[in-house]
């Protein structure tokens, strides 16, 4: 195919030029004010993150979330909630890449597939700390300018559709949903 071929045109467009997905499990050690007797609940909230292209084949996601742990202490006679802010940095490898990007002006889209979520929360073996296992998963896309070739129809698209090519039949269920008094009120 040559550039002067009249049947094709070169089009510059924005397209997905890279994709990647990463699942992460992390264990955090939390130090409560008191030695815990038992864990009553654990929640991960306030997730914030941003993503940027780090290299030709990696996206970096920097984020944070709060871990809230409700625990009992003093032989299960008192309770308290401990909150700790966790920061993280995930490197997402791009498994699909288009090396034909025209410039370095990228847009990175990161979508949370799995919000940070507590898998397990337990008192550490020595009894003074609480260990929390958290999972999270991201899907990333890198958008950039690229070239594509499209075939041109020299005569235009002239096919005429006949009415009988379209399926306009209504089902009984659709007919049951029709309100015969919709326009202009009821007429007898």
pTM of model > 0.85: no
From residue 177, give the alpha-carbon distance in Å to each of 167, 169, 170, 182, 184.
19, 14, 11, 11, 18
Domain count, the chain: 1
Residue 161 lies in a domain: no
Residue 171 lies in a domain: no
Residue 54 lies in a domain: yes
Tell me the sheet residues that pair with 120: 133
Residue 87 lies in a domain: yes
Closest by CA to 20, choosing from 63, 57, 62, 64, is: 57
Residue 32 lies in a domain: no
| Distance in angstroms (rounded) separating the CA atoms of residues 109 and 90 | 14
Residue 73 lies in a domain: yes
Domain with 94 in it: 11-23+38-116+135-151
Residue 172 lies in a domain: no
Instruction: Provide the token pair at 172.
Output: 């009984």
In sign, the C-alpha dihedral spanning 19, 20, 21, 27 is negative
pLDDT in tens, 37-47: 999 999 999 99
pLDDT in tens, 145-182: 888 888 887 666 655 555 555 556 667 766 676 777 66
Question: Please, how many CA atoms are within 13 Å of residue 53, restricted to the half-sphere of its CB?
Answer: 18
pLDDT tens over the chain, length 188 residues:
555 567 888 888 888 888 999 999 999 999 999 999 999 999 999 999 999 988 888 999 999 999 999 999 999 999 999 999 999 999 999 987 777 777 777 899 999 999 999 999 999 988 899 999 999 999 999 998 888 888 887 666 655 555 555 556 667 766 676 777 666 555 54
Instruction: Provide the token pair at 182.
Output: 């919709």
């Amino acid at each position: 195919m040559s550039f002067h071929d009249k049947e094709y045109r070169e089009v510059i467009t924005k397209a997905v030029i890279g994709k990647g997905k990463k699942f992460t499990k992390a264990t955090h050690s939390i130090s409560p004010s008191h030695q815990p007797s038992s864990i009553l609940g654990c929640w991960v909230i306030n997730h914030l993150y941003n993503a940027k292209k780090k290299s030709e084949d990696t996206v970096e996601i920097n984020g944070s979330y709060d871990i809230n742990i409700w625990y009992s202490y003093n032989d299960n006679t008192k309770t308290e909630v401990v909150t700790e802010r966790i920061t993280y940095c995930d490197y997402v490898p791009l498994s699909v890449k288009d090396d034909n990007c025209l410039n370095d002006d990228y847009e990175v889209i990161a979508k949370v597939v799995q919000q940070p979520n507590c898998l397990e929360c337990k008192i550490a073996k020595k009894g003074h700390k609480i260990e929390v296992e958290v999972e999270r998963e991201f899907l990333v896309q890198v958008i950039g300018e690229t070239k594509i070739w499209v075939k041109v129809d020299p005569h235009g698209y002239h096919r005429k559709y006949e009415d009988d090519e379209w399926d306009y039949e209504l089902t009984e269920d659709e007919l049951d949903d029709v309100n015969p008094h919709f326009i202009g009120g009821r007429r007898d």
